[in-house]
Chain A
Amino acid sequence: MAFLEIHQVRRQFASQVAVENISFTADKGEFISLLGPSGSGKTTLLRIVAGFERPDAGRIVVDGEDVTMMPPQRRNMGMVFQSYALFPNMTAANNVAFGLRTRKVPNDQIQARVRELLSLVGLEQKADRYPHQLSGGEQQRVALARALAPNPRVLLLDEPLSALDALIRVNLRGEIRRIQQTLGITTLYVTHDQEEALAMSDRIVVFNHGRAEQIGTPEEIYDRPTSAFVSSFVGAMNRLTCQVISRSAGTVALGNHELQVNALPNDVTDGDRVELWIRPERIRLGWDPDDVNQNHLQVVVDQVMFLGARLGIKGTIVGGGGALTLDVPRDANDRGAMLRPGASVDVTFSRSIAVTRASE
Chain B
Amino acid sequence: MKRLSVGSWLVGIVALLYFIVPLVATAQFSFQEGPGQPFWAAYTSILESAQFWQSLRLSLGMALAAVVIGLIVVVPAAYWAYLRVPQLKPWIEFVSILPFVVPPIVLVLGLVRLYASGFGPLSARVTMLMGAYGVVSLPYMFRSIDTGLRSMNVKALTEAALGMGASWTRIMFQVVLPNIRQSLLGGAFLTFALIMGEYAISSMLGFNTFGVYMLLTGQTQAQGAAALAIIAFILVWFFVAIMQWVSRNSITTIGGSR
A and B: real partners? yes
Chain A residues packing against B (C-beta within 8 Å): 50-52, 71-79, 81, 83, 85-91, 94, 98-99, 102-103, 146-147, 150
Most chain B CB atoms below 10 A, which of A76, A83, A102: A102
**Known contacts A90-B257, A91-B257, A102-B170; is-contact A85 B160 (Cβ 8 Å):** yes
Most chain B CB atoms below 10 A, which of A71, A74, A79: A79
For residue A50, which residues in chain B have a CB less than 8 angstroms away from its CB?
Answer: 159, 163
Residue in contact with B166 in the complex, picked from A73, A88, A91, A147, CB distance below 8 Å: A73
Q: Is the beta-carbon distance between B164 and A150 smaller than 8 angstroms?
A: yes
List CB contacts (< 8 Å) of B134-171 with chain A: 152-153, 156-157, 159-167, 170
Q: Is the beta-carbon distance between A85 and B153 smaller than 8 angstroms?
A: yes
Residue in contact with B163 in the complex, picked from A77, A83, A88, A90, CB distance below 8 Å: A77
Residue in contact with A74 in the complex, picked from B152, B165, B178, B257, CB distance below 8 Å: B165
Q: How many Å lie between the Cα of A77 and that of B157 in the bound state?
A: 15
10 more CB-based (< 8 A) A-B contacts, given A74-B165, A76-B165, A81-B156: A72-B159, A79-B163, A81-B159, A83-B156, A85-B157, A85-B160, A86-B160, A89-B258, A102-B166, A102-B170
B30 at the interface (CB under 8 A from A): no
Q: Is the beta-carbon distance between A89 and B159 smaller than 8 angstroms?
A: no
Q: Is the beta-carbon distance between B162 and A73 smaller than 8 angstroms?
A: yes
Q: Is the beta-carbon distance between A87 and B167 smaller than 8 angstroms?
A: no
B113 to chain A, nearest CB (A): 42
List CB contacts (< 8 Å) of B29-50 with chain A: none
**Known contacts A88-B152, A89-B255; is-contact A81 B167 (Cβ 8 Å):** no
Q: Is the beta-carbon distance between A88 and B159 smaller than 8 angstroms?
A: no
For residue A76, which residues in chain B have a CB less than 8 angstroms away from its CB?
Answer: 165
Complex A-B: 24 CB contacts under 8 Å? A50-B159, A51-B163, A52-B162, A71-B162, A72-B159, A73-B163, A73-B165, A75-B163, A78-B163, A79-B160, A81-B156, A81-B160, A85-B156, A88-B179, A89-B178, A90-B257, A90-B258, A91-B258, A94-B257, A98-B166, A99-B164, A99-B165, A102-B166, A146-B164
Q: How many Å lie between the Cα of A78 and that of B161 in the bound state?
A: 10
Q: How many Å lie between the Cα of A146 and that of B156 in the bound state?
A: 14
Chain B residues packing against A (C-beta within 8 Å): 152-153, 156-157, 159-167, 170, 174-175, 178-179, 252, 255, 257-258
Q: How many Å lie between the Cα of A75 and that of B162 in the bound state?
A: 10
Most chain A CB atoms below 10 A, which of B160, B161, B175, B257: B160
- Across the interface, name the chain A residue whose C-beta is closest to B181: A89
Q: Is the beta-carbon distance between A102 and B156 smaller than 8 angstroms?
A: no
Residue in contact with A150 in the complex, picked from B153, B165, B252, B255, CB distance below 8 Å: B165
- Across the interface, name the chain B residue whose C-beta is closest to A100: B164
- Across the interface, name the chain A residue whose C-beta is closest to B251: A89
Q: How many Å lie between the Cα of A94 and that of B255 in the bound state?
A: 11
Q: Is the beta-carbon distance between B163 and A72 smaller than 8 angstroms?
A: yes
Q: Is the beta-carbon distance between A87 and B156 smaller than 8 angstroms?
A: no
A131 to chain B, nearest CB (A): 11
For residue B167, which residues in chain A have a CB less than 8 angstroms away from its CB?
Answer: 73, 102
Q: How many Å lie between the Cα of A77 and that of B162 in the bound state?
A: 10
For residue A85, which residues in chain B have a CB less than 8 angstroms away from its CB?
Answer: 153, 156-157, 159-160
B247 to chain A, nearest CB (A): 13
For residue A146, which residues in chain B have a CB less than 8 angstroms away from its CB?
Answer: 160, 164
Q: Is the beta-carbon distance between A72 and B162 smaller than 8 angstroms?
A: yes
For residue A74, which residues in chain B have a CB less than 8 angstroms away from its CB?
Answer: 165
- Across the interface, name the chain A residue whose C-beta is closest to B153: A83
Q: How many Å lie between the Cα of A19 and that of B167 in the bound state?
A: 29
For residue B157, which residues in chain A have a CB less than 8 angstroms away from its CB?
Answer: 85, 87
The 10 residue pairs across chains A and B that have the minimum distance between CB atoms = A99-B164, A85-B156, A89-B178, A85-B160, A90-B257, A102-B165, A79-B163, A72-B162, A102-B166, A73-B165
For residue A88, which residues in chain B have a CB less than 8 angstroms away from its CB?
Answer: 152, 179
A47 to chain B, nearest CB (A): 8
Most chain A CB atoms below 10 A, which of B152, B161, B163: B163
Q: How many Å lie between the Cα of A89 and that of B170 in the bound state?
A: 14
Q: How many Å lie between the Cα of A71 and that of B152 in the bound state?
A: 24
A11 to chain B, nearest CB (A): 16
Q: How many Å lie between the Cα of A75 and that of B166 in the bound state?
A: 12
Q: How many Å lie between the Cα of A102 and that of B173 in the bound state?
A: 13
A86 to chain B, nearest CB (A): 8
Q: Is the beta-carbon distance between B179 and A87 smaller than 8 angstroms?
A: yes
Q: How many Å lie between the Cα of A52 and that of B84 in the bound state?
A: 11
